[in-house]
Chain A
């Protein structure tokens, strides 16, 4: 699925930490309305890839285009079209929840933000916490706030690293619905998680990373049709086969 209409295009992305090659020649595209599930064992390069695409880490080699804007040549233009939800959001401990949304609106140049902000607070079950300080929030609440901040910017490309960790069952259900809704509205989403069930449920396509390299890119059906599915048809079995890990015998 590689066309000119891709909202996110990553070509030959590589990054090394000293002698360790964290990401090695990674290339993929994400179309409007598509959710790409990024999976891989610990240390596979998922977070490094997402941080580089979000513009948090500089690009060592390769090219990233966000809605046709090159992240190196036009970083501000590219960043203003994408939103990044890190695995451990660190809100400003001095600002209230509502002020975080005001802050995000200011940074992304969103003029009329008030009504949307209150609506997002309600959708992410944060209304009661509107006046709570960032430093007072629990892990799950911080995660919800990061969601609300990302949603406020109405991103064309959404990057999420372990987005459901720390959320309660109700929060997980709401977050999944919101992610699907965001995709339905045409955003390109890259979602990294160790929760294979979540990826199986939400992702249209899979990108399995191992030691910084893409070992599989395609839909779950394509994976099932490939030789990766010898040991069975679940994503867990495909993942284990793709990353060279042996499933535990029952």
Chain B
């Protein structure tokens, strides 16, 4: 790590990196489905950004709208300063997750062993980051476009500010990973652990407190809003914290060409200074870089396997207290064996996801119990039916997306799965069964908790309890069948977002069409039944009971059909095709 390289050489390397990223995007367009997904996704993103850019009334902190066109220019600058400072603080927090320098899996060994100094390595990565910042800051540009005095000037301010924040975050990561420094040595091999959790909790608590306070400060009715912000800005500590963002806020809000050029020169100077200081302060970061790159690669790998959120953060190791034997609750046959293996994964590695889902179901229960939130839902039986339906339908939708204990985590093992001696339909059923069971248990717990909290029981509840497992299984099997027809390993924040959005919209449409078709058939049958029973002079209770059995039967048929569809998708699944 000795020789130095000119900035143009490093820029050339970074350009190769950017070009590869774009090429990968365009290559996704070579297949008909890729082309359709890309066009739909691109169209959606463009229309969303267009709507952001050219709409005027979004409320909130709108610079020109909320407080009227006559808002004090100094306050405008202060608001932008606040936004940039908050963004910088959040970015600095993320530095603890990436001590040293994060290098992608394909670069880490090549770059660390290459004859390139640490400073040049940092410069190269910062240049790569610059490209990424341009892409990611497009959202902020769109968000601010219609609110800036001169959008053409303001865009430069936003880009330079966001890139500077990215560099500052990198600098913090480098300091934390630099074993030449006391800070780096202190954090070597250490994570923030409980202390980090406490800091994070305090930060969140502080933010919530600030939001509540700002609600009073900014939107209080007894005092002029601008006056309140002015008094807030007058606080010396606030002024000190927000001061570094001032030059960038001035550029964002520049109105004249001379002002723009002046602040552009100042900001470019700051950026260059921060860039160079960051590169030169790199120090001995190889160990931290290796650790960070490996940890992040592992996490990205877990996410690409379908693990989401907290479940991708940490994995159990041998000897862990939770690594205990899981009973064969589904029997010892082929289906039971596969379902058991799925259940093992849930119990060992998904406590975080599980607790989060439990909390969401709890929230839904509270939503239906709280009279202020739920409103008047009519007589007790109707209230119970509607409340239970809310818990079950919304709960199923959320849990179905968050819990991925099915084919969405099995893509890397499809070669093994397909060689097993059992039919595709049975394999499909066995794989989705534990997911459906766990979701059912969570929802049942929610519905029964509501019963315990309200103390009101209506016979209609029993019917709902019978419908829950069938409904959940039909939902999960449809989700998995659609996924197997159009499988994808997508990592949020990585490439392929445009295609993923197009694909998601199309798949959502497909699900809606399938569910609606089924609902229409079921509703039509119920309508015919009611006509028939009217005609035959049958009582309302009998009709209601018949209707319930018909709905249950219908959902069971739907579940069976979706399972067949899933089996078909599984047998057509081609392991030789890439699904990234």
Chain A residues within 8 Å of B, Cβ to Cβ: 17, 48, 51, 54-58, 75-77, 79-80, 84, 86, 89-90, 92-96, 99, 102-103, 106-109, 131-133, 135-136
Contacts and interface: CB of A to CB of B under 8 A. Distances in A.
Given A79-B420, A84-B419, 11 more contacts: A56-B419, A57-B574, A57-B576, A89-B416, A90-B412, A94-B345, A94-B348, A99-B341, A106-B332, A132-B318, A133-B317
B418 interface: yes
B336 A106 contact: yes
B333 A106 contact: yes
Contacts of B379: none
B421 A107 contact: yes
14 contacts: A51-B415, A58-B571, A76-B421, A79-B419, A94-B349, A99-B341, A99-B344, A103-B341, A106-B338, A107-B421, A108-B421, A131-B318, A132-B318, A136-B317
Contact of B338 (A54, A75, A107): A107
B334 interface: yes
Nearest to B410: A92
Interface in B201-250: none
B413 interface: yes
Nearest to B320: A133
Nearest to A133: B318
A94 B576 CA distance: 24
Contacts of A102: 337
A79 B421 contact: yes
Q: Using C-beta atoms within 8 Å of the partner chain, give the interface range for chain B.
A: 20 to 34
Contact of B422 (A76, A92, A99): A76
B316 interface: yes
Given A90-B413, A106-B334, A132-B318, A55 B341 contact: no
B82 to A, nearest CB: 44
Contacts of B194: none
Contacts of B420: 79, 107
Given A48-B576, A106-B336, A132-B318, A90 B415 contact: yes
Nearest to A18: B31
Contacts of A75: 421, 423
A107 B333 CA distance: 7
Contacts, number: 84
Contacts of B319: 131
A90 B575 CA distance: 13
Contacts of B316: 133
A114 B291 CA distance: 39
B315 interface: yes
The 8 residue pairs across chains A and B that have the minimum distance between CB atoms: A106-B337, A94-B345, A79-B421, A80-B421, A56-B418, A84-B419, A90-B413, A54-B419
B334 A107 contact: yes
* Residue from A56, A92, A131, A133 whose CB has the most chain B CB atoms within 10 Å: A56
* Residue from B341, B344, B412, B421 whose CB has the most chain A CB atoms within 10 Å: B421
Contacts of B315: 93, 133, 135
A51 B416 CA distance: 10
Contacts of B109: none
B572 interface: yes
A131 B319 CA distance: 8
Nearest to A47: B576
Nearest to A105: B337
Given A48-B576, A107-B334, A55 B419 contact: yes
B337 A55 contact: no
B416 A90 contact: yes
Contacts of A107: 334, 337-338, 420-422
Contact of B334 (A17, A51, A109, A133): A109
B575 A56 contact: yes
A55 B422 contact: no
Nearest to A132: B318
A221 B576 CA distance: 35
Nearest to A92: B341
A131 B318 CA distance: 7
B419 A92 contact: no
Nearest to A94: B345
Contact of B576 (A51, A76, A109): A51
* Residue from A93, A99, A136 whose CB has the most chain B CB atoms within 10 Å: A93
Contacts of B341: 92, 94-95, 99, 103
Contact of A94 (B336, B344, B575): B344
B336 A57 contact: no
Nearest to B346: A94
A77 B412 CA distance: 25
Contacts of B413: 90, 92
A83 B573 CA distance: 20
Given A107-B334, A131-B318, A132-B318, A51 B575 contact: yes
Nearest to B307: A93
Nearest to B430: A107
Interface string B309-344: 000000111110001000000001110111011001
A92 B341 CA distance: 8
Contacts of A132: 318
A95 B340 CA distance: 10
Nearest to B341: A103
A211 to B, nearest CB: 17
A245 B418 CA distance: 35
B55 to A, nearest CB: 45
Nearest to B326: A99
A133 to B, nearest CB: 6
A86 B415 contact: yes
Given A58-B572, A135-B315, A103 B337 contact: yes
B160 to A, nearest CB: 43
Nearest to B424: A75
B576 to A, nearest CB: 6
A166 B415 CA distance: 19
B423 A17 contact: no
B331 to A, nearest CB: 9
Contacts of B412: 90
A93 B348 CA distance: 11
Contacts of B419: 54-56, 79, 84
Interface in B406-440: 412-413, 415-416, 418-423
Contacts of A108: 421
A73 B208 CA distance: 64
A147 B228 CA distance: 72
